[in-house]
Amino acid sequence: MKKKRSRKDMYQSQMFGNSRVSISIPNDILRDVIELARQKKTSRSIILNESTRLGFREMAVRFALEEYQRGHISVGRAAEISGLGLAEFMEEMRKRGIAPRYEEESSTKEMADE
């Protein structure tokens, strides 16, 4: 049976831009979430929200890097997709051992010099 949400819950969700979704989490991960929430003295919801944000950011960066490496998108577009600034994205590329394509590297340097 579905629990009816109070007006206060609905108002807070609308006010803070949150949505409720239902997902299945493997029991071992849920145990880890519960334990981390206990250690940090916070709620499971906060742990799951933070985990989702971190995981989503990593997924977006990986996707952008893959598309860039395939030559499907420019470094600027890849930075947009990843949610990072151009310099931040290029630093991420450097950390992961991905060399910029030569023609983009020179145009990026020209843009930085202006």
Which residues, other chains included, contact 84 with Cβ-Cβ below 8 Å and sequence gap of 6+? 61, 92
Q: Please indicate, yes or no, if residue 16 is contained in any of the structural domains.
A: no
Residue 88 is part of which domain span? 26-98
- 14: in domain: no
Query: Does 1 fall in a domain?
Result: no
- CA gyration radius for the chain? 20
Position 3 in a domain: no
Domain assignment present for residue 21? The answer is no
User: Following CA atoms 40, 46, 48, 52 in sequence, which dihedral angle do they give, to the nearest 10 degrees?
Assistant: -120
The residue assigned the tokens 């709620």 is 43
Greatest mean pLDDT among 8-12, 21-25, 63-67 lies in: 63-67
**In whole angstroms, what is the distance from residue 97 CA to residue 111 CA?**
23
Structural domain tally of the chain? Answer: 1
Does residue 2 lie within any of the structural domains? no
Q: Is residue 47 part of a domain?
A: yes
Considering the entire predicted model, what is its pTM?
A: 0.70
Could you report the per-residue pLDDT of 36-64, keeping only the tens digit for each?
A: 999 999 999 999 999 999 999 999 999 99
Residue 42 maps to a domain: yes
